[in-house]
Amino acid sequence: MANSDSGDSVVDRVVRVFEAFPEGVASLQLTELAERAGLPLSSAHRLVRQLSGHGLLEHDAGGTVRLGMRLWELVNRNSPTLALRQAAMPFMEDIQQVLNQNVNLAVLDGWEALFVERLSRRGSIVNRARVAGRMPVHISSAGLVLMAHQSAQLQAEYLKQFRDPSGKMTADVVRRLLAEGAQQGYVQLAGVVDPDAWGIAVPVMDGKRRTLAALGVVVPVAEMRLQALVPALQTAARGIGRRLEA
């Protein structure tokens, strides 16, 4: 039901308020929040006041608006990724202990890889993946291995709309990587996001061979040990799948 002159609903505007917070930013001034959400200041103020009443936002007399603890509580209590993260964490910790590098867990959401967990240590190579952050499928090994294990129809739809504004990847290259990922059971991708980083990812599957997630590592190109990394990742992925089944 539309509740504004522009035709958007209350739900539309509430979603835009939450989406206005950039990644890694937990607070905004009300005026900036209204601008980023595309709302009149009066409408933004009213929504902030109502959401604050439910603990989903917090605001102070100085006009600063913050994400509320109640929002974090609700999301983490009922998140569909909670069981996945709990099942994966012991295996991710084991891999990180051996490699001393980044370990990622991602799921497919549209044409993007959504990262639901990440482990890293001081001194490890830069990892652009962030928890609750997204990357286009074609620039992450996790995204590519997830797409490689989708249906032919979904892959065709993805390739039909594929565009890479940076010009680093073409549809033909992505098509080849998807075919290799499906055949080999892993995807490796070097130097696309960072020239010195190499990503390797494998699918996490359930007992019916449905792909639930991708488990991956990001390591320095100079330390790349494909023959050792892939079996370790595949063993961990099978363990995660078994824990989810249990």
Which of 34-48, 150-164, 198-212, 216-230 is least confident?
216-230
Per-residue pLDDT for 35 more than 80? yes
Residues 200-213 pLDDT 10s: 999 999 888 899 99
- Show the DSSP H helices in 114-225 as ranges: 141-148, 152-161, 171-184
Predicted confidence at residue 80, as pLDDT, reads: 73
Q: Which long-range contacts (CB under 8 A, 24 or more apart) does 164-167 make?
A: 164/136, 164/138
Is residue 182 within 8 Å of 149, Cβ to Cβ? yes
Distance CA 76, CA 73 (A): 5
Distance CA 186, CA 142 (A): 9
Highest mean pLDDT among 68-77, 97-106, 176-185: 176-185
Per-residue pLDDT for 5 more than 60? no
Residues 15-33 pLDDT 10s: 999 999 987 788 999 999 9
Distance CA 59, CA 88 (A): 36
Which residues of 61-155 form beta strands (DSSP E)?
64-67, 102-109, 112-119, 134-136
Per-residue pLDDT for 4 more than 70? no
**How many other C-beta atoms lie within 10 A of the C-beta of residue 74?**
14
Residues 143-202 pLDDT 10s: 999 999 999 999 999 999 999 988 889 999 999 999 999 999 999 998 777 778 889 999
Is residue 184 within 8 Å of 201, Cβ to Cβ? no
Kindly report the length of the chain: 246
Q: Amino acid identity, residue 107?
A: V
Contacts of 154 (CB under 8 A, 6+ apart): 147
pTM summary value:
0.79
- Tokens standing for 111? 């044409």
Domains of the chain: 10-74 (1.10.10.10), 79-245 (3.30.450.40)
Predicted confidence at residue 7, as pLDDT, reads: 63
Is residue 177 within 8 Å of 148, Cβ to Cβ? yes
